[in-house]
Amino acid sequence: MKRRGLLIILSSPSGAGKSTMAGMLREWDPSIAFSVSATTRPPRVGEQDGREYHFRTREEFGEMVASSEMLEHAEVFTNLYGSPKAPVKAAMGAGQDTLFDIDWQGGQQIRNSSLGNDVVSIFLLPPSMAALEQRLRARGQDSDDVINDRMSKSLDEVSHWAEYDYVLVNEDMDACAEQVRAILVAERLRRERQEGLNDFVRDLQDEFGSRT
Q: Which residues bind ligand 5GP (CB under 6 A)?
A: 14, 37, 41, 72, 74, 76, 81-83, 101-103, 105-106
Residue nearest to ligand 5GP (CB): 106
Closer by beta carbon to ligand 5GP, 83 or else 193: 83
Among residues 21 and 193, whose Cβ is nearest to ligand 5GP? 21
The whole-angstrom separation of Cα 97 and Cα 93 is: 10
User: Are the CB atoms for 84 and 35 separated by under 8 Å?
Assistant: yes
Q: Identify which of 32, 34, 27, 24 has the alpha carbon closest to the alpha carbon of residue 177.
A: 24
**Max CA pair span of the chain:** 76
Rounded-to-integer distance, Cα 10 and Cα 21, Å: 9
Distance CA 79, CA 58 (A): 9
Based on CB atoms, which residue is closest to ligand 5GP, 7 or 76? 76
Min dist CB 178 to ligand 5GP, Å, is 22
Q: How far is the CB of 163 from ligand 5GP (least distance, A)?
A: 13
Q: Of the candidates 140, 125, 88, which has an alpha carbon nearest to the alpha carbon of residue 14? A: 125
* Cβ proximity to ligand 5GP, 76 vs 120, nearer residue: 76
Tell me the closest approach of the beta carbon of residue 182 to ligand 5GP, in angstroms.
23
CB of 3 to ligand 5GP, least distance (A): 25
